[in-house]
Chains A and B, each alone.
Chain A
Amino acid sequence: MWAYLLRRLVQAVLILLGVSFITFLLLYVLPADPVRQIAGRSATPQVVESIRRELGLDQPFLVQYWNYLTGLVQGDLGRSYLQKADVAGLIASRLPATLQLMALAIVFELIIGLGMGIAAALWRGRAVDSVLMMTSFAAVSAPQFVVGLLLLYLFAVQLGWFPISGYGTFSHAVLPALTLAVTGSGWYARMMRSSMIDVLHTDYLRTARAKGLSRGRIVLRHAVPNAILPIIAMIGIDVGIFMGGAVVVESVFGWPGIGQLAWQAIQRVDIPIIMGVTVVSAVAIVLGNLLADMIAPFVDPRIKLR
C-alpha cells in the first residue's frame, strides 16, 4: 500500500514536470510576444526591451523554465504580466467559485446520469432504453459551449427561470453546473446501465426475486447500491473533465472562476496566469485520479493496489 502510494507520488511529480515543461514550451514558441501586449502600441523600442529585461524574457528558454520551476517548488507561481499581482493570489481568489460549480455539477451528473442508467437497465431493450442511450450519446458528444448557450437561451432568456449570468446565489449556479454536468451524465448513464445489467443478473438478486421481494425494493435496496459502487470511484476522474470544461462554461455564463481567469489570460498572452492555471489544474487532475484509485479497493474489495 505505502509502496504503491510512493510510486504514484513519484509518477505524479513526473507528470507535473512534463505538463509544466510542455505548456511552457508551447507558450514560448507561440508566435505572440507577451512583452508587446504589456508595452502596448506607443511603447518605444527602449521601453519594450526594458520590460523584456525586467521580466527575464530576454533569457534563454531553459533558464526561463528553470527560474519558473525554482519558483514553483517554493509555491511561487509568479506575477501576472498585465495585472501585476501574484498569480497564486489571483487563482486563490477564483478557486472557490470553480469548486462550487464543480460540486454542484457532480451532484447534477450523478442524479441525471444514474437516473438515466437505472431506467435504461430496467427497461432494457425497450424504447425507453434506446431513447435514453441515444440521449446519453448526444450528451457525451455535445460541445459544451453549444449546450451552455442552448440552456441559457431556453431557461434564462425565454422562460426566465434562472438569471442569465452572474454569480452569487444558488439559482445563478444551476445553468452553468448543468452545462458542465451534461458530458459526465452521458458517461454515467452508459456506465450505470451496464453495471445495473450485470448486477440484475447476479444470483443473489435472482434469489431476492424468488423470495418474493417487491420490484421496487429489489432495485432500490439491492441492485442500485451494488451497481453504483464502481461508478462512485470514477468521480475523481471527473475533476479533469471539469477543469477543461470550466474554461468554456465560465466564459459563457460569466462565472468568476479560474476558467474565466485563464480564458482572459490566453487572449492577452499573460503567460504566468496561463501557466498557473495549467499547473493547478494538473495537480487537481493528478490528485483526483489518485483519489479515484485509492477509493476503488474500498468500494470493491476485488481490486488490489499494487
Chain B
Amino acid sequence: MKLRHLLLGTAMAAALAGPGLAQEEQLDPNAKPGGSIVITYKDDVATLDPAIGYDWQNWSMIKSVFDGLMDYAPGTTELRPGLAESYEISDDLLTYTFKLRPGVKFHNGREMTAEDVKYSLERVLTPATQSPGAGFFGSIKGADKMADGSATTLEGLTVVDPQTVRFELSRPDATFLHVLALNFASVVPKEAVEAAGGDFGHQPVGTGAYKLGEWLPGQRVVFQKNPDYWRAGLPYLDQITFEIGQEPVVALLRLQNGEVDVPGDGIPPAKFQEVISDPDQAARVVEGGQLHTGYITMNVTQPPFDKVEVRRAVNMAINKDRVVQMINNRAVPANQPLPPSMPGYSQGYAGYPHDVEGAKKLLAEAGYPDGFTTELYAMNTDPNPRIAQAIQQDLKAIGINAEIRALAQANVIEAGGAGNAPMVWSGGMGWIADFPDPSNFYGPILGCDGAGEGGWNWSKYCNEELDAAAQAADAMAKPEEAEARLQAWSAVFEGVMEDAPWAPVFNEQRFTMKSPRMGGADALYTDPVSIPINYDYVYVTDVQ
C-alpha cells in the first residue's frame, strides 16, 4: 500500500489541523486586484538568488519570486503542495514521488519541468554555488557525495518523466517536506542562471507571483505582478516597490504622511510606546507570535558552568517579566527553548521559577557560596546592551559578577562559536526557525552537531542520549506518528531544560504596522514564514 496524499496537507498538517481537502485557491471575496504598495528597508537587498539568500529581509521576497515543490498556506505553518500537484510517500518512508503541476511557466515564458527541479537542487548542493542551505538536504541519497565533490549529480533525485520527480532518502526524515518548502529548494530555470553569468541574484527568474521589474542598487527594488502566475487570481497587487536606505524612524514618519504602506524593519523601539498609545496608529499594528526565542547560553565545558546547579541557579535568577517590560512588552517570557507558536511546545511545562533564595542555595550546593565572576557577551545594538544590564543585575543579586562584553554581531557569533564566551545573550542573533518544526530548534543550537568549533551551539552542550532521542523523533515520518513525534520532541526539550544549558528569557512578538489602505487578514501581516508580510495575498482597498 502506498500512502497517497492527493492535494492534501502533509502528514503533520493533517494531524494538527485536520485534513485539508483538495481545493482551488481560496480567494478573499473582499480583495480587488490592482494597485501598488511601498515597503521600506534600511539595508540593501543582498541577493534574490534562492540558493544564496538567507536573511529575514530577502527570505520573503524570494518566496514571492520563486516557488518550490512544497509551500505553506498563507499566514500559517501548515504545509501544502506548491509546484507539486500531488505526492506519494512509500511505505518505508524513503521514497517521495512528486507529480508536478502542469503548465507552470517561468517568468521567461518557458514551461517548468522535472529537469528544472533536478537542476535546481543539484545547483544548491554543488560546492561552487556556496549555498548556505546545502546542509538541509542531507537526508537525500547522494547529497553527501555532492557536498564533498565526489559526485556532480544527485543520486537520490530521479526525473521519471517531464512531470514527475522521485526522491530517495538515505533515512526516514519527518522534516523532508518542510525542507522542500525552504527557499533553497526553489525551482530555477537553468538558461536564466547561465545567462546571468554568475549574477542570478540580481537577475532572478522564477515561477513566483511577482517578477523583478527594476533594481537600482541602494535605492529600490520593484516587483511586478506575474500575469501568468499559476495560482489563478493571485497576486492581487500589480506592483510592490521596496525602497532601500530608509531609517526605521524615517519610514515611520513617511507612513504617517501616507507615503509608505509597510515599514519593513518594523516600529523603531524608541517610537513604540508613542505608536501604541495612539489609538489611531495602534489600530493599524498587527501583533503576532513568531518562531523566535531569546536566551542566555552558558558554556557547559568550562567551570563554573560545567555544574548543572549553577546553570539552574542562573535560570532561577533571571527576572524575565522585568526584561519583557524593559522592551515595552514586545515579547512574552519563555521557560523552554521552543516558542509557543511552534508545534511541539510543552504547554504544561512550568520551567524554573524566579527564586533568588533558591538560586543562592543552588550556588552554595555547587560550591560557590560567594558567587563568582564571569563574562556576558551581547550584541551592541539597542536594546541588547540594556537587556544585558538587566541580566547583570539579576545575576548580581545571587552573587554572580558578570562583566558585559558588548560587541558587533559578527564578533559575538565568533566568540560564541569558538567557545570563548562563558555566557552569551542571544538578542539580535536569537534563533528564528528556518522552518516551523521543532527539529530545527535543536540540531544546530542544542545538539552535538552544533557544539563543534564555530557551531551555533554556544553552550557547547552535547547530550548524546537526547541527540539519539531527537534522531528517533525525526525518523517518525509516518502521518499517524505525527502526534507521537511532537510529544517525543517535547520530551527532548524538557530534557534539555533539565540540564539547563540555556536560560530561555523571552519569545519576541512581531508588530507589523500598515497603512490604512492595506487589506487582507491579520494573519498575512504576521505570517510565520513570510516576514514582514505575505506579499502574494495582501491587497489595497483603494483600487477602483
Using CB atoms and an 8 Å cutoff, list the residues of chain A in contact with chain B.
31-33, 36-48, 50-51, 53-55, 79, 82-86, 89-90, 93-94, 97, 157, 164-168, 252-257, 260-261, 264, 267-269
Contact = CB atoms under 8 A, between A and B. Distances in A.
Interface string B438-460: 00100111000100101110000
B431 interface: yes
A256 B130 contact: no
B414 A31 contact: yes
A94 B132 contact: no
A45 B452 contact: yes
B411 A164 contact: no
Interface in B233-262: 243-247, 250, 253-254
Contacts, number: 149
Given A32-B408, A255-B245, A256-B245, A261 B218 contact: yes
11 contacts: A31-B415, A33-B417, A36-B413, A36-B417, A82-B52, A85-B199, A85-B201, A94-B217, A165-B245, A165-B250, A256-B245
A82 B243 CA distance: 20
A54 B454 contact: no
B37 to A, nearest CB: 17
B148 to A, nearest CB: 7
A97 B410 CA distance: 29
B246 A254 contact: yes
B499 interface: no
B112 interface: no
> Which 3 A-B pairs rank lowest in CB-CB distance, beginning with the nearest?
A256-B218, A254-B245, A32-B410
A85 B130 CA distance: 13
A83 B201 contact: yes
Interface stretch (B40-48, B71-79, B471-479): B40-48
A165 B147 contact: no
B47 A83 contact: yes
Given A94-B218, A164-B250, A166-B245, A267 B201 contact: no
B413 A97 contact: no
A82 B219 contact: no
Nearest to A260: B218
Contact of B132 (A40, A85, A86, A252): A40
Which of B218, B246, B253 has most A Cβ within 10 Å?
A: B218
A167 B417 CA distance: 40
A157 B101 CA distance: 52
A47 B414 contact: no
A84 B414 contact: no
B130 A157 contact: no
Interface in B127-142: 127-128, 130-136, 138
Contact of B201 (A36, A51, A84, A254): A84
Given A37-B413, A44-B135, 5 more contacts: A33-B410, A41-B444, A41-B445, A166-B245, A168-B219
Contacts of A86: 198-199
A55 B129 CA distance: 11
A84 B49 contact: yes
A93 B217 CA distance: 7
Nearest to B199: A85
Given A42-B440, A164-B253, A82 B147 contact: no
Contact of A53 (B44, B127, B132): B127
A157 B454 CA distance: 45
A54 B136 CA distance: 19
Interface string B103-136: 0000000000000000000000001101111111
A69 B217 CA distance: 27
A40 B218 contact: no
Interface string B184-204: 000000000000001111100
A79 B43 contact: no
A85 B202 contact: yes
A44 B449 contact: yes
B216 interface: yes
A164 B218 CA distance: 16
A41 B443 CA distance: 11
Contact of B218 (A31, A41, A46, A97): A97
Contacts of A166: 219, 243, 245-246
B409 interface: yes
A39 B49 contact: no
A55 B417 contact: no
B410 A51 contact: no
A272 B482 CA distance: 46
Which of A31, A86, A167 has most B Cβ within 10 Å?
A: A31
Contact of B148 (A46, A164, A269): A46
B434 interface: yes
Contacts of B218: 94, 97, 167, 255-257, 260-261
A35 to B, nearest CB: 8
Contacts of A47: 131-132, 134-135, 147
